[in-house]
A and B are shown apart, each in its own frame.
Chain A
Amino acid sequence: MTRPVDAALAREFGLNAEEYAKVVEIMGRTPSLTELGVFSVMWSEHCSYKSSRVFLKQLPTRAPWVVHGPGENAGVVEIGHGLCAVFKMESHNHPSFIEPYQGAATGVGGIMRDVFTMGARPVANLNALRFGDPDHPVTKRVVDGVVRGIGGYGNCVGVPTVGGEVNFHPAYNGNPLVNAMTVGIAPADRIFLSAAAGPGNPVVYVGSKTGRDGIHGATMASAEFGKDAEEKRPTVQVGDPFTEKLLIEACLELMATDAIVAIQDMGAAGLTSSSVEMAGKGGVGIALDLDAVPQRETGMSAYEMMLSESQERMLMVLRPEREEAARAIFGKWGLDFAVIGRITDSGRIVVRHQGRVEADIPLAPLADQAPLYHRPTTELTKPAVLNAARVENRLGLARALEQLVGCPDLCARSWIWEQYDSTIGGQTVKRPGAADAAVVRIDGQQMALALTTDCTPRYCAADPEAGGRQAVAEAWRNLTAVGARPLAITDNLNFGNPEKPEVMGAFASAIRGMATACEALNFPVVSGNVSLYNETEGRAILPTPAIGGLGVIDDAGKAMGLALPPWLDLVLIGGTRGWLGQSLWLREIAGREDGAPPPVDLPAERAAGDFVRAQILAGAVRACHDVSDGGLLVAVAEMAMAGMTGARLSTGPRDIPGHAYWFGEDQGRYVLAVADGPAVLRAAEAAGVPAVRIGYSGGADLTLPDGGTISVASLRTAHERFFPAWMGS
């Protein structure tokens, strides 16, 4: 490249005129190409959070069990027995549209590195996926590629994929969302951080060699797509799960020694962000010699090496006297190990290549003077509450139920799960579909982790604040439904173009809703990721603040599933008004997407959840399922299908129309299958929690209060039809 560095080139790199002027001011001269590259990726939306930072500060991040909140590679919470859980969710949306297999695969690889970088062995993966309309011409290809990519990477590395969620909506036609979450376990006294220290200490590069792949990936992820999305394929990286597996083993082996001062994975913006962040956080300087970087291609420039997003690479600062021992470990695993620089006390990053200084940037202003925007926000008018009595009910309960359990948003996901290894590790207590949250025992312990991902984008679109609150509450509820104590969340905030006031308004509102729920449920945010510019040709996705929740259950043997056993009382916990606004029934049966979404009453949520958890741990419950998409009847049907057991349901209250009672999506509710219904009802009354017996289990059919009947077997057929038929296998 011989083009001069100027404002026009800066614009192509994603920096606007003011941002470029700031770069020139900091440098006191025209930056070199490599320097411009460093600034442009560090100041990209993806790396700098320049539009979202002012809002993210509102989220509660503290609790007595939080060890490291946002700002590290992943969140860390104490779980007892001298152990910590380390977890985070991160998006790989843009690459997954351009090249679904590699986009999703490298998303999984990247989030695993964030977790093992901190010293934790990854023990579970989850994925929150949103796809376009199944009838849209590209959706099938995207779903197929994303699912194969997630499986291809996770299965090979050997971390079980135990849960997640999938939605379809036309708003994702051009911008599917791939949000990958990894959870790891580390000894509480051996958490590794990224702040570099010790001038003179060696900076060590390990893992795969550097190639020209993924150059400017972070910039690509910080812009909308136009019609040229396909042409951006060269910015997508290619994953090598075999190397990732070796890297995990080698890093964990090294982490058992005292060799590491600081460590950081090379994720978005590769060598640039890892070196800048490590030196910046440590308040030191760093000098890099790019001639020492292991390279996969010849003739790479400094610019290309600094911006490459080649996967499966880590940067470490080591104690000098441990360098040879560390080299031996990486040699044993067959991985590159190269000293590519030293920590300095200069406060600058200095990059040398072939005898020339290619970049020399002061670190403090690179971080402190990064752009920070208070973008204009316009908040949506809240939609009116839908009067359920005025919505025509043209189908009986049985027909509507059969249709609902077969729709793309509610149908069986086994076609997806069966492509993910969910049992590897030998610790999976509740596999996908067996319970409201995945349950993974901790090796050598009686306790287990409960894990879930949640968000209801159609609620967020109608009322982002209510939707944000609901997403957090649902994660808390799903953990509670297996008997776990919810501890903390990671969030993955997927929105459109932040330069549009209505998008930023939705973002601000969603954060407000999330913050309220986190506060009320004592459920702090410990890590997260923001993905903006999820727009194609000016059309934005639904606001999608995906929540990854983590909880602990002290006795894995008490973890509760949702499969219904026969001949038990069915008890509904939580209050029901028959809320049809934004329900799936309304969309799938009545063909409407309107009304206000169901509100979450946080004190009631907490009371109901605490009651349910106590009943589970006391041994009073045989199956438990929260009531969410599709409402009460869908919840009962899901329990029935999982247990291959029918149920007979009683008539609901007279003042609520039947379809609203059975399909309304009122929040904060659970269905319990219990041996002694009256005892549970008495306990609920004593706890001040609404509870009502809705019927009992048994037989082969669901017998409904409007006189309709449907066999569980035929429900299951309807439930399992969609994916295999759609994908043709």
Chain B
Amino acid sequence: MFGYVRILKEELTFREYEDYRGIYCSLCRRTGKRYGHVARMLLSYDMTFVAALRLALGAEPVVFCKGRCPYNPLAKRSCCRDSAVLDTVADMSLLLSYGQLQDTVADARGPKRWGAWVLTKWLKRAREKAAVRLPDLAATVEECLAAQAACEQTNASTDAAADATARMTAAMLTALSSDEREQRVLDRLGYCLGRWIYLMDAADDLEKDAASGNFNPFLTGEESPDFPALRKRAEGSLCACLNETISAYDLLDIRRFDGILRNILQKGCAANQMLVTHPERKVREINERSV
């Protein structure tokens, strides 16, 4: 995952921010327990959103307590007292980030590729363990990565190109619930969010891909692309997708953390989107606008 799905800190209350950090710490801790320290380095903000969603939908109460983090032992941090509910999210996170590493090994060049290669070797056992715990998701991730690679050979439309990531995210979110009604909403939410993430990554890499000749669904194969116009088009697609995501989210029965989740979807994602589609604007201006 890419870390586009994150909070807009300025708009959170202190308490919500503290809770958000607590959720991150809990997920990190569980990942460490299950898959070791290297796996912890691969955690992303996107997965923190998934963890928050898991806790928000769960019937069990969430209790935070203070604890110390081995990486930053001076500061005390909140952490879920019973963070075992996040085990599934830790498994998902590992499967997805491993898939992404494989993708990097296949696509990237230079030191980035070697780094990813070393990590895939290091995490091979961990990935096998996660695949035993979530066999369906592991199969979906593998299938989607293959579909993605095939799609990039054929100059696909934005929708077709985003389909694999979208389906993968939908499969992941659907696995958070066992209620059929909730699963339908999560499927739509996940599909739109995954599509948004993929398109964000594509919009972010427009210039890089145009220079290197890599596949990008927003590029139309011209000699000298008109980047502002392409970004404008991308912004429309991204907005439509994010609005669709929020409409789906509105139908969930959220027990807690609604403020955090709404902040992420309505403000954090929108601010990130603004950063990507208007690179000429300064970060501060964007924060002012999104209020």
A binds B: no
Which residues from chain A sit less than 8 Å from chain B, CB to CB? none
Which residues from chain B sit less than 8 Å from chain A, CB to CB? none
